């Protein structure tokens, strides 16, 4: 259950071990936190002081993912930068932790840092580490295509409603609800990889777990200013990671406890607070153009009630729960916590537990079989009409993606540039109307605009405020759209 990194990682592991698997995702693939992250393939440097197990998992998986999915990784390297000498004890503990975790690092001089990044960074000390950039949407697509190529089934816009058990309390089926109504799937096990929704799904097992949900806000700048990840060297805090991602730079993040698994609407006051922390390390961001802000909810697991404990102190390690060993049915498992970086390892450990239950003896292969690259979208020819000028997306690229508006966006990148769909949004929705006449044009336009606008609004300062005002003028005055 769950079509994020963890659920698809589990399905890939299962099909490689020869099992029959169905992924059930309530919305589109990547609907949850797996499309709402910085895009950092962690070296583990962020966790060595307080969370050494998570740090060691990260460096192990950093190496594995670079090997099995090189198309989805940009091997940029990263730097940890100490802005001043205030936290010297932390720096010494960090260096010791890096050595103990076996993570390569070496000092970088001020002039080399300037040379490496091309921008002026306030740095008393800097160290190089093997961080990298992870193309999350691409890796999800690769996993999806590889799972299907091995016979796995992926059902989107389908929710788990209940599990069915036999007289001995073992799972024999799952009731799922999709566009074509409710139906039962026969199965021997149900794995809950529902990320921040894992608590809700565990309730369907009758053995609820407690999650410690917290959300983080990230700000996208419309420039790629350097080709290396930059982390602030201090206890993890707000606004201390810059990730170059495609043609943009992402600054993150915050850590605010929340009750709902749905990503909250970003607020401009929070964006500005985080921007301020980023500004302490790289003052020139005051000249960078912000583009949008977005949020994601961390699926952290609270082994016991955390009460007022700060989310930053909850481990980034992961946990596998065998509900059959508790109050739940045999064959019900949950996997919670962890990082995008450790999705494969989480899947391996989870599938090991499920196979022990099923008495199947098959070794994990995901660390040695490379994922086939994703099928390329057809590049538009010069005769093919450009729909999105910012990202150069042409008609044929859009037409050949089968799926929702969100899939058109995340597979082609239309509306992801500085104008955020101001100019292409209406045009693309009209094309969509030709392709899918049964869809409601007005509903598509409205949902698309709302989704883009909430991110722009939370970053509406400087030039982006002018862009946002222009977008609203075009929408409401020229196109007569409703707010
Ligand atoms: C702000 C922020 C920044 C981060 N940055 C990084 C980073 O740079 N690097 C990194 O390694 N990690 C990062 N992470 C962590 C990482 O993104 C997550 O750990 C990871 O994406 C979780 O993936 P998942 O598959 O477990 O959950 P999700 O991606 O949330 O997937 C769960 C899926 O389950 C589906 N679902 C829920 N209920 C049901 C149901 N009843 N039926 C069917 N489907 C259901 C949901 O729709 C969802 O798609 C970040 C997290 C946050 C919040």
Query: Over the stretch 206-253, which tens digit does the pLDDT of each residue have?
Result: 999 999 999 999 999 999 999 999 999 999 889 999 999 999 999 999
Same domain for 289 and 423?
Answer: no
Q: Is the CB of 341 under 6 A from ligand 1?
A: yes
- The pLDDT of residue 143 is 98
Burial of 258 from C-beta contacts in 10 A (0-12 / 13-18 / 19+)? middle
Same domain for 426 and 295?
Answer: no
Please report whether residue 467 resides in a domain: yes
Ligand 1 midpoint to CA 362 (Å)? 27
Ligand 1 midpoint to CA 337 (Å)? 9
What confidence tens digit (pLDDT) does each residue in 390-446 have? 999 999 999 999 899 999 999 999 999 999 999 999 999 999 999 999 999 999 999
Q: Which of 57, 176, 195, 237 to mutate to test the pocket of ligand 1 (most atoms within 8 A of CB)?
A: 195
Same domain for 392 and 293?
Answer: no
Domain boundary (301, 332, 357) is at 301
**12, containing H or E segment:** helix 5-16
Please report whether residue 33 resides in a domain: no
Angle, to 10 degrees, between the axis of helix 441-457 and the axis of helix 463-473? 160
> Residue ranges of the alpha helices (H) in 102-254?
110-117, 136-149, 198-204
Query: What single DSSP character describes residue 402?
Result: -
Please report whether residue 459 resides in a domain: yes
Domain boundary (268, 301, 334) is at 301
Model confidence at 380: pLDDT above 80: no
Q: Is the CB of 338 under 6 A from ligand 1?
A: yes
Q: Which of 317, 340, 342, 404 to mutate to test the pocket of ligand 1 (most atoms within 8 A of CB)?
A: 340
Please report whether residue 182 resides in a domain: no
- The pLDDT of residue 377 is 63
Q: ∠350-354-355 over CA atoms, to 5°?
A: 115
Please report whether residue 352 resides in a domain: no
Report helix, strand or coil for 351: helix
Ligand 1 midpoint to CA 339 (Å)? 8
Q: Is the CB of 199 under 6 A from ligand 1?
A: no
Q: Is the CB of 24 under 6 A from ligand 1?
A: yes
- The pLDDT of residue 475 is 87
Domain boundary (270, 301, 332) is at 301
Same domain for 220 and 79?
Answer: yes
Please report whether residue 380 resides in a domain: no
Same domain for 229 and 117?
Answer: yes
Ligand 1 midpoint to CA 15 (Å)? 21
Same domain for 297 and 425?
Answer: no
Same domain for 109 and 226?
Answer: yes
Report helix, strand or coil for 22: strand
Please report whether residue 410 resides in a domain: yes
Same domain for 125 and 244?
Answer: yes
CB neighbour list of residue 164: distance below 8 Å, 6 or more residues apart: 171, 172, 173, 174, 175, 184
Q: Is the CB of 34 under 6 A from ligand 1?
A: yes
Same domain for 114 and 217?
Answer: yes
Burial of 448 from C-beta contacts in 10 A (0-12 / 13-18 / 19+)? buried
In this structure, of 51-60, 96-105, 288-297, 310-319, the range with the lowest mean pLDDT score is 310-319
Same domain for 296 and 390?
Answer: no
Residue nearest to atom 1 of ligand 1 (CA): 216
Q: Mean pLDDT, the chain, as a whole number?
A: 94
> How sure is the predictor about 308, in pLDDT bands with cuts at 50, 70 and 90?
very low
Range of the domain at 469: 386-478
Q: Which of 1, 4, 162, 176 to mutate to test the pocket of ligand 1 (most atoms within 8 A of CB)?
A: 4
Given the CA of residue 215, which atom of ligand 1 is nearest to it? 53
Same domain for 291 and 394?
Answer: no
Model confidence at 383: pLDDT above 80: no
Rg (CA), the chain: 23
State the total domains in the chain: 2
The CATH number linked to 114 is: 3.30.9.10
Please report whether residue 418 resides in a domain: yes
Given the CA of residue 316, which atom of ligand 1 is nearest to it? 19
- The pLDDT of residue 309 is 47
Same domain for 295 and 390?
Answer: no
Q: Is the CB of 252 under 6 A from ligand 1?
A: yes
């Amino acid at each position: 259950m769950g079509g994020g990194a963890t659920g698809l990682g589990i399905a890939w592991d299962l099909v490689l071990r020869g099992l029959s698997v169905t992924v059930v995702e309530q919305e589109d693939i990547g609907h949850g936190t797996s499309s709402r992250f910085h895009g950092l393939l962690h070296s583990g440097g962020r966790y060595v002081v307080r969370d050494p197990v998570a740090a060691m998992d990260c460096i192990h998986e950093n190496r594995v993912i670079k090997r099995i999915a090189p198309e989805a990784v940009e091997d940029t390297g990263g730097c940890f930068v100490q802005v001043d000498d205030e936290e010297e004890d932390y720096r010494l503990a960090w260096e010791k932790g890096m050595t103990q975790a076996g993570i390569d690092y070496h000092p970088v001089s001020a002039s080399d840092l300037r040379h490496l990044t091309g921008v002026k960074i306030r740095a008393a000390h800097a160290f190089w580490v093997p961080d990298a950039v992870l193309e999350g949407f691409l890796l999800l697509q690769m996993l999806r295509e590889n799972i299907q190529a091995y016979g796995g089934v992926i059902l989107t816009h389908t929710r788990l409603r209940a599990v069915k058990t036999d007289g001995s309390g073992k799972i024999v089926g799952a009731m799922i609800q999709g566009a074509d109504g409710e139906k039962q799937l026969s199965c021997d096990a149900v794995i809950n990889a529902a990320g921040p929704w894992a608590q809700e799904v565990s309730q369907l097992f009758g053995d609820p777990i407690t999650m410690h949900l917290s959300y983080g806000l990230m700000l996208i700048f419309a420039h790629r200013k350097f080709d290396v990840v930059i982390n602030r060297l201090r206890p993890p805090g707000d606004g201390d990671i810059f990730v170059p991602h495609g043609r943009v730079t992402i600054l993150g993040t915050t850590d605010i406890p929340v009750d709902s698994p749905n990503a909250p609407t970003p607020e401009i006051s929070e964006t500005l607070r985080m921007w301020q922390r980023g500004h302490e390390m790289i003052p020139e961001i005051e000249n960078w153009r912000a583009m949008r802000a977005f949020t994601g909810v961390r699926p952290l697991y609270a082994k016991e009630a955390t009460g007022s404990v700060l989310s930053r102190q909850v481990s980034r390690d992961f946990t596998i729960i065998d509900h059959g060993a508790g109050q739940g049915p045999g064959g019900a498992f949950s996997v919670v916590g962890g990082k995008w970086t450790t999705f494969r390892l989480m899947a391996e450990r989870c599938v090991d537990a499920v196979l022990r239950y099923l008495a199947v003896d098959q070794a994990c292969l995901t660390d040695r079989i490379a994922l086939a690259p994703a099928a390329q979208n057809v590049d538009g020819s010069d005769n093919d009409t450009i729909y999105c000028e910012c990202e150069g997306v042409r008609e044929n690229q859009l037409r050949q993606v089968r799926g929702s508006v969100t899939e058109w966006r995340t597979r082609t990148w239309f509306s992801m540039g500085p104008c955020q769909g101001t100019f292409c949004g209406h045009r693309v929705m009209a094309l969509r109307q030709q392709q899918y006449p049964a869809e409601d044009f007005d509903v598509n336009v409205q949902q698309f605009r709302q989704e883009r606008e909430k991110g722009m609004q939370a970053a509406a300062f400087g030039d982006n405020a002018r862009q946002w005002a222009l977008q609203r003028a075009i929408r409401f005055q020229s196109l007569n759209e409703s707010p």
